[in-house]
C-alpha cells in the first residue's frame, strides 16, 4: 500500500454525494479524518451518517466524489479489500458461530495461520475471555457490543468505523463503554470514525467532531471549538443549548463587532462574529449568562441587560436553571452554579443579566434560530 507524500494515511472524502432514486442522502461531503484520531460524526437521525460510513466501508458506492486513504483511492474498492472494518449499528454478529469464531472471522479470511493467540488477546482486551465458547445470543447487549468491537479491531484496520455502537445500551452502560472505547482507541492508536446522534457522547470522546445535518457537514472542529464558536444556528442548538437574539451590527473594530440588541449595545469578539454588517443573531450559552436581582451588582464586567423577569426556575442540584423574559418578549436561559453565594430567585423576580463579551457569538440572520432544537437528543 502506498503512502501519502507526508507519510500520513488520512481518510479523505472529497465531494461525496449519494443519491437514491428520489432522495439525496449525502450532499457533496468534504471531510478529512487525520490518522490516529478519534473522530465523531454527529447528527440527528436520518441525516446521512450511516450512508456516509457505508460508502467508506465500501458497502455503498458514492454517486459522485472520491474517498481516499493517504493517496490510495478506495472509492470503488471492494469492501473485503479495504483496510477498513466496521462495528455495525445492530452488531450483526454471526449467530451460528461462537464468540471465538466471530472474532477470528477476519483473520481466517486473511489466511492467518495461528488465530488462537491474537483472538485470545483481543478477547482479553474487551474482557470476554470467559465467553469465548458461547454463541452471540447467549450474551448481554453490552457483551455483544464488545464482541462486535473485538471482531472488527482484530483486523487492525487503518480506519475503524463505528455506527452508533452504544445506541442500544442503557445510559449507565453507555457511559462506561464510552470510557472503555476511548481507552481502547488510545491503546491501539487506530483511526476511529464514531457515528452518534448523542452530542454528549461525541463531545466526551472525540478529538474532532463533524456535525452533520440533512446530508451536509455543518461544522467541523474540536469539541471546545464547536461548543464555544458555533458557525450555524444548527450547531449552536444541537450541541448544547443557546439563546439567539436578534441584533443589528453597528460597528466593527479590529477586536470586536458591536451590535445593537434591542437597545443594548453588546460586543462580540471578531473571531466569533460570522457577520460583519446588517442584521444578525447574538448567541450566548445559558451557563455563560450571569443573573442577579435587579440593581444588585453582577461580578462580571461585560454586556449588561436590565429588565428581565424570571418565568421559570428549575433547581437541578449542582445548578439552578432560570428562564428569564427580556423586555422584548424573548425568553433567555441562565444557569447559575449553586455555589451558595446567591439565594435562589423566585419566579416573577426582577433581574438583570450579564455575560462577558468573549463568550458571545454572532450568526448570520439568514440562519433559522430554531434549527437543531427539535433534533436534539
Partner 1 sequence: MSDVVAPRRRGPSVAAWLLLPGAIWLALFFVVPFYSLVATSLFDPNGSVLSGYEVTWHFANFSDALRDHWRPLVRSLVYAGIATSFCLVLGYLLAYAIAFKAGRWKTLLLVMVIAPFFTSFLVRTLSWKLILADNGWVVDALQAVHVLGPEDRLLATPVAVIAGLTYNFLPFMVLPLYASLEKIDLRLIEAAQDLHANPFVAFFKVTWPLSLPGVAAGTMLTFIPAAGDYINAQLLGSPNERMIGNIIQNLFTTTGDYAAAGALSVILMALILVLIMTWVRKAGAEDLV
Ligand X SMILES: Nc1ncnc2c1ncn2[C@@H]1O[C@H](COP(=O)(O)OP(=O)(O)O)[C@@H](O)[C@H]1O
Closest CA relative to residue 259, chosen from 308, 305, 326? 305
Of 63 and 365, the one with the shorter C-beta distance to ligand X is 63
According to the binding rule CB under 6 A, does residue 48 interact with ligand X?
Answer: yes
Task: Give the relative orientation of helices 171-188 and 141-153 as an angle to the nearest 10 degrees.
Answer: 20
Tell me the closest approach of the beta carbon of residue 169 to partner 1, in angstroms: 16
Q: What are phi and psi of 63, to 5 degrees?
A: -70, -45
The C-alpha atoms of residue 312 and residue 294 are separated, in whole angstroms, by 17
CB-nearest residue to ligand X: 50
Bridge partner list, 192: 38, 160
Q: For residue 7, count other CB atoms closer than 10 A to its CB.
A: 8
Q: Does residue 52 touch Mg ion according to CB under 5 A? A: no
Question: Among residues 159 and 282, whose Cβ is nearest to ligand X?
Answer: 159
Which residue number, 49 or 82, has a Cβ lying nearer to Mg ion? 49
96 binds, among Mg ion, ligand X, partner 1, none (CB under 5 to 8 A by kind): partner 1
Interacting residue with ligand X among 11, 13, 50, 184 (CB under 6 A): 50
Nearest approach in angstroms of CB 105 to partner 1 is 5
In whole angstroms, give the CA distance from residue 2 to residue 83: 12
If one asks whether residue 49 binds ligand X (CB under 6 A), the answer comes out as yes
Q: From residue 21, how far is each of 25, 47, 355 by CA, in Å? A: 10, 17, 49
User: To which residue does cell 448523542 refer?
Assistant: 198
Site residues for partner 1 per CB under 8 A: 57-59, 78-81, 84-86, 88, 90, 92-96, 105-106, 109-110, 151-152, 155
Block residue for cell numbers 502506498: 2
Which one among 9, 42, 51, 174 touches ligand X, defined by CB under 6 A?
Answer: 51
Taking the complex as a whole, the smallest distance from the CB of residue 188 to ligand X amounts, in Å, to 25
* Smaller CB separation from partner 1, 52 or 155: 155
Q: Which is nearer to ligand X, 196 or 242 (CB)?
A: 196
Candidate ranges 43-51, 174-182, 290-298, 366-374; the one touching ligand X (CB under 6 A): 43-51
Q: Which does 23 bind (CB under 5 to 8 A by kind): partner 1, Mg ion, ligand X, none?
A: ligand X
Tell me the C-alpha distance between 291 and 275, whole Å.
28
How far apart are the C-alpha atoms of 27 and 244, rounded to whole Å?
27
How distant, in Å, are the alpha carbons of 1, 52, 119, 188, 306 from that of 112?
A: 19, 30, 11, 20, 71
Is residue 109 within a helix (H) or strand (E), and if so which, with residue range? helix 99-109
Number of residues located near Mg ion, criterion CB under 5 A: 1
Q: Kindly state the smallest distance separating residue 95's Cβ from partner 1, in Å.
A: 7
Which of 50, 51, 131, 199 contacts Mg ion by CB under 5 A? 50
Amino acid at each position: 500500500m502506498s503512502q501519502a507524500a507526508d507519510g500520513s494515511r488520512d481518510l479523505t472524502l472529497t465531494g461525496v454525494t449519494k443519491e437514491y432514486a428520489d432522495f439525496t442522502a449525502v450532499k457533496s461531503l468534504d471531510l478529512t479524518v487525520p490518522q490516529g484520531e478519534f473522530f465523531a460524526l454527529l447528527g440527528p437521525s436520518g441525516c446521512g451518517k450511516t450512508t456516509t460510513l457505508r460508502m467508506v466501508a465500501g458497502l455503498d458506492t458514492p454517486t459522485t466524489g472520491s474517498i481516499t486513504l493517504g493517496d490510495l483511492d478506495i472509492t470503488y474498492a471492494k469492501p473485503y479489500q479495504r483496510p477498513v472494518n466496521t462495528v455495525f449499528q445492530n452488531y450483526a454478529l454471526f449467530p451460528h458461530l461462537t464468540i471465538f469464531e466471530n472474532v477470528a472471522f477476519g483473520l481466517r479470511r486473511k489466511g492467518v495461520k495461528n488465530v488462537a493467540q491474537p483472538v485470545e488477546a483481543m478477547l482479553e482486551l474487551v474482557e470476554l475471555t470467559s465467553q469465548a465458547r458461547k454463541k452471540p445470543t447467549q450474551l448481554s447487549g453490552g457483551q455483544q457490543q464488545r464482541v462486535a468491537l473485538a471482531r472488527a479491531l482484530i483486523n487492525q484496520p487503518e480506519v475503524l468505523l463505528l455506527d452508533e455502537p452504544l445506541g442500544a445500551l442503557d445510559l449507565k452502560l453507555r457511559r462506561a463503554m464510552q470510557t472503555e472505547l476511548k481507552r481502547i482507541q488510545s491503546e491501539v492508536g487506530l483511526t476511529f470514525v464514531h457515528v452518534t446522534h448523542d452530542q454528549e457522547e461525541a463531545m466526551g470522546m472525540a478529538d474532532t467532531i463533524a456535525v452533520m445535518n440533512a446530508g451536509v457537514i455543518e461544522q467541523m472542529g474540536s469539541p471546545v471549538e464547536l461548543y464555544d464558536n458555533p458557525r450555524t444556528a444548527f450547531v449552536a442548538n444541537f450541541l448544547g443549548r443557546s439563546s439567539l437574539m436578534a441584533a443589528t451590527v453597528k460597528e466593527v473594530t479590529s477586536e470586536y463587532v458591536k451590535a445593537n440588541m434591542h437597545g443594548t449595545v453588546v460586543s462580540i469578539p471578531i473571531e466569533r462574529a460570522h457577520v460583519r454588517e446588517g442584521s444578525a443573531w447574538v448567541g450566548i450559552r445559558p451557563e455563560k449568562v450571569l443573573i442577579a436581582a435587579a440593581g444588585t451588582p453582577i461580578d462580571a464586567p461585560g454586556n449588561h441587560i436590565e429588565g428581565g423577569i424570571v418565568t421559570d426556575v428549575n433547581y437541578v442540584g449542582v445548578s439552578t436553571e432560570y428562564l428569564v423574559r427580556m423586555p422584548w418578549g424573548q425568553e433567555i436561559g441562565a444557569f447559575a452554579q449553586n455555589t451558595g453565594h446567591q439565594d435562589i430567585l423566585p419566579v416573577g423576580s426582577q433581574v438583570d443579566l450579564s455575560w462577558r463579551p468573549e463568550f458571545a457569538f454572532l450568526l448570520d440572520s439568514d440562519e433559522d434560530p430554531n434549527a437543531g432544537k427539535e433534533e436534539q437528543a
